[in-house]
Structure 1
Amino acid sequence: MVSEWNQIIGTVKAIGIWDILDIVIVALLIYQVIKLIRETRAMQLAKGLILLLLLYFVAYNLNMKTVRFIMQNVVATGVLALVIVFQPELRRMLEHVAQTKLNKLNIFQSSQDKDSELTGVWNESISVIANACETLSKTKTGALIVFERQTKLGEIIKTGTVVDATPSNELIGNLFFVNSPLHDGAMIIRDGRICASGCFLPLSQNYTISKEMGTRHRAALGVSENSDAVVVVVSEETGTISIAEGGVIERNFTIPQLEKRLRHEILHKNEEGQRKQSSVKALLRKVKK
């Protein structure tokens, strides 16, 4: 008993800082994978894989040759099959991985954050767009407005018509007017300007969404699931204003609430990112010295 206790103490003493860091990194990776696949088809896949691994472990220790042979062949051919079957889930997972804290530290910094003048442009644009949403809500004109952030939406922009104009109440109203050829698509806001309109968005694959939500709300959720964009939806049936972000949709925004939320998501978070970036640069300069 004493020798076993001494052995445990010796093992603990042998653990260094890099061993602890190694364990923490692996734990964080496992946590992030579980967080990403939760409430998706991939979660059921993960449960099945755990059962197969347990079965293989039992078969190996009990020297069950037939079961072990079958399990080895299943593993060899199953990886490729899983990649094909769960391609959408894997793609979504990789897209989420790309939107890590590194983006928030602005290591891969966009032009939006580099130009300080854009803060003023965004301030004015948010006010104009909020006022336009008020008009659209009162007239029950359906609208879908996507605010691009770190994740670039070039592929989506290509599906619509390039506008490249300063936002105005009249222009937004005309683009979403029911007889406009672009009214059914989404408007993309990039760097505080209307980049494109009439764009097609990917629909959400979340089948737990309320049936009360129409195609616009599903499209808003879809693009928010696959990017860090903030999406504003104006319901054509009720005039209700909603915001979708990170695969979650919130409804019944008033105009002041909408403007406050947009300023927080687009301006304040960018300012936080700039402060973090300055801290990282200062730290790197000290390390170089």
Structure 2
Amino acid sequence: MAEFFQSIGSFFEALFHAIGGDIGILSSILDIAIVAVIIYNVIKIVRETRAGTLVKGMLILGVCYVLAFYLKLQTLTFILDNLSKVLVFGLIVIFQPEIRRALEQLGRTRLNKIKILGVGGVLSEEDVMQRVQRTIDAVCKSVKVLQGQRMGALIVFERDIKLVDIVKTGTVINAEASPELIGNIFFVKAPLHDGAMIIRDGYVCAAGCILPLSQNSEISSELGTRHRAALGMSENSDAVVVVVSEETTAISIAYKGFLMRDVSIDVLKETLQKRLIHDVVGDGTSEKSPFWKGRSK
């Protein structure tokens, strides 16, 4: 086996030399490219979260240390020098949500869509997509009814990241989604209406679930608990969260830490199809630039 891999390595090495390439230069280019991609994604994650403010604070401390060192401010230099030794461990605690999010994005892969050795159920991907489409239609119909009756709702569509811990906080249902079921769950006097509904693979998985609230200090004071919970869920997972305001009947969509407010039923349906069907099938749609970024009002 070792000889086989050595022969493959020798083949590619000979190929690089044959085309006039140099292994050292190619390795350096590959090294720089990988590091550049890592730095780009780190900056992207930092900019999209509250970690940006923390990074600015760290940069200010760094500038203070440099100035204190060159100006020979011994006491300040001593304090900052010892502070930097424990800062590495502090960063793990401070940036824990961002580190978790980065690792989840790294581990998110299309491999979980592939049935290996027949594992993964008997339904084909087309059957699942049809069921998801029926669920989207049911949610849109029920949202329209809820708006008319001025009742709120919080609906979470699970995607690649499984929300097992969130499901445990509520009541397991495991039923096919229908406008009647969704309407009954969010009826004002129903016992589960205050929590969130979790939809998994086109089924209503659970209801009455508790979601993590967003810690973003820049959230508008106009937003209530439902919207903060929706943003918190979207910050900690790749889920698509739909909110119906009980006060204004406005529809909002939270995804990847961004919130699009006051959307129509048509936009809701289009967005759910885009994120739950087209992105899964892979029609070339990119998630790198969410179209609602900066459109919250």
TM-score by length of 1: 0.78
Q: Match for 2:243 among 208, 233, 239? A: 233
Alignment CA distance shift 1:69-1:108 (3 Å): farther
Q: Match for 1:92 among 83, 87, 98? A: 98
Q: Determine the C-alpha separation between the residues in 2 that align with 1:50 and 1:225.
A: 25
Q: Secondary structure at the match of 2:156?
A: strand
Structure-to-structure mapping, 1:90-129, within 5 angstroms: 90-100=96-106, 103=108, 105-109=109-113, 115-116=124-125, 117-129=127-139
The alpha-carbon deviation at position 273 of structure 1 amounts to 7.5
Contact 1:106 1:274 in 2 (8 A): no
Q: Determine the C-alpha separation between the residues in 2 that align with 1:64 and 1:39.
A: 36
Q: Match for 1:144 among 126, 138, 154? A: 154
Correspondence for 2:31: 22
Alignment CA distance shift 1:240-1:61 (3 Å): closer
Q: Residue 182 of structure 1 aligns to which amino acid in structure 2?
A: L
Structure-to-structure mapping, 1:181-220, within 5 angstroms: 181-220=191-230
Q: Determine the C-alpha separation between the residues in 1 that align with 2:240 and 2:84.
A: 41
State the number of aligned residues. 258
Correspondence for 1:31: 40
Q: Determine the C-alpha separation between the residues in 2 that align with 1:78 and 1:229.
A: 32
The alpha-carbon deviation at position 14 of structure 1 amounts to 9.2
TM-superposition CA deviations, 1:230-263 (whole Å, max 9, x none): 0111110111111111111112222222112111
Q: Which protein, 1 or 2, shows the higher relative CO under an 8 Å CA cutoff with sep ≥ 6?
A: 1
Q: Residue 122 of structure 1 aligns to which amino acid in structure 2?
A: V
The alpha-carbon deviation at position 96 of structure 1 amounts to 3.3
The alpha-carbon deviation at position 53 of structure 1 amounts to 4.9
* Structure 2: tracts of 5 or more residues without a match: 1-21, 115-119, 286-297
Q: Residue 262 of structure 1 aligns to which amino acid in structure 2?
A: L
Alignment CA distance shift 1:260-1:52 (3 Å): closer
The alpha-carbon deviation at position 78 of structure 1 amounts to 2.7
TM-score by length of 2: 0.76
TM-superposition CA deviations, 1:262-281 (whole Å, max 9, x none): 11110001110899xxxxxx
Q: Which has the higher helix share?
A: 1
Alignment CA distance shift 1:143-1:58 (3 Å): closer
The alpha-carbon deviation at position 135 of structure 1 amounts to 0.4
Correspondence for 2:19: none
Correspondence for 1:250: 260
Structure-to-structure mapping, 1:7-86, within 5 angstroms: 16-38=25-47, 42-50=51-59, 53=62, 72-84=81-93, 86=94
The alpha-carbon deviation at position 211 of structure 1 amounts to 1.9
Q: Determine the C-alpha separation between the residues in 1 that align with 2:213 and 2:171.
A: 20
Identity %: 46
Q: Determine the C-alpha separation between the residues in 2 that align with 1:256 and 1:48.
A: 43
Contact 2:48 2:257 in 1 (8 A): no
The alpha-carbon deviation at position 31 of structure 1 amounts to 2.3
Q: Residue 248 of structure 2 aligns to which amino acid in structure 1?
A: T
Correspondence for 1:8: none
* Structure 1: tracts of 5 or more residues without a match: 1-12, 276-289
Alignment CA distance shift 1:52-1:17 (3 Å): farther
Q: Residue 113 of structure 2 aligns to which amino acid in structure 1?
A: Q
TM-superposition CA deviations, 1:199-248 (whole Å, max 9, x none): 00011111222222211111111100111100111110111111111111
Alignment CA distance shift 1:25-1:51 (3 Å): farther
